[in-house]
Amino acid sequence: MALWDKLFGRKRRRELSSELLKASAYSESNQVTLRIRELLAGGADADSIDEEMETPLMKAAWASNLHAMKLLVAAGAKIDCRNWEGKTPLMASAISGNVAALDILVHAGANLYECCDSGCTAGYYALLTQHHEAAGVLRKAEEYRAEADGIQLIEPPLCDVACVNCGGSFNHYVDGEEIDFGDGRDLERETLLCARCGNKARFRMIFGPMPVGRR
């Protein structure tokens, strides 16, 4: 009987965790918030993952569901969980440009310098998606944390270019050619074919802070 109860308990937790993943992806509402609270109280795993390696916190970040994010953080969800692309909840909130969501994650201790599998940070994504307020919030947080941790921030050499039409980033390669950032070219005055939107467009240069070690 004890073994049966144990197996039944595991099955029930998996069911609750699966429902938590689905509920966390919904937009914010009183009904959704209540259900997430019930699921967590019932034993749902705050760090359960789906087929894309996304956790409830990641899904809530994509949906900008602030109440869900607060509940999951309070339940001990991992702040810097990574999906199949290496993106974190902080990056998801930066891409959506939700400053309130960023504030929740920053205060929960999110790693501001974490890079996804493409080598991009949350601050970089905020710039790339032209969410300038979000980029400013992250920049201030980076400076504050660097000062508190005794870490020096530097502006790195140009690391990427992005299409001004769609924001597509190309990691030094545009229109099949490698861009030499040291040859004095003014990319913002040139038009090149964007592999993402398919249009001839100008490209803007992206900069971002990088930690280089303790002072």
Extents of the domains making up the chain: 1-78, 86-149, 153-215
List the one residue out of 55, 101, 99 whose CA is nearest residue 77: 55
pLDDT, one tens digit per residue, over 47-105 is 999 999 999 999 999 999 999 999 999 999 999 999 999 999 999 999 999 999 999 99
Please calculate the CA angle 140-127-50 and round it to the nearest 5 degrees: 95
Task: Say if strands 203-206 and 210-214 run parallel, antiparallel, or are unpaired.
Answer: unpaired
**pLDDT over threshold 60, residue 213:** no
CATH topology of 1-78 equal to that of 86-149? yes
Cα–Cα distance, 126 to 105 (Å, whole number): 15
Higher pLDDT, 198 or 40: 40
E strands present in 87-167? 151-154, 160-163
User: Is the full-model pTM beyond 0.75?
Assistant: no
List of E strands, the chain: 151-154, 160-163, 173-174, 177-178, 192-193, 200-201, 203-206, 210-214
**Domain 86-149 sits in CATH 1.25.40.20:** yes
pLDDT digits (tens, 9 = 90+) for 150-199: 766 655 444 455 555 665 555 444 444 444 444 444 555 566 666 556 66
Residues paired with 214 in a beta bridge: 151
pLDDT at 147: 81
pLDDT score for 195: 56
On the 0-12 / 13-18 / 19+ scale of CB atoms within 10 A, 50 is: middle
Most confident stretch, 120-129, 133-142, 143-152: 133-142
| Topology annotation, domain 1-78 | 1.25.40
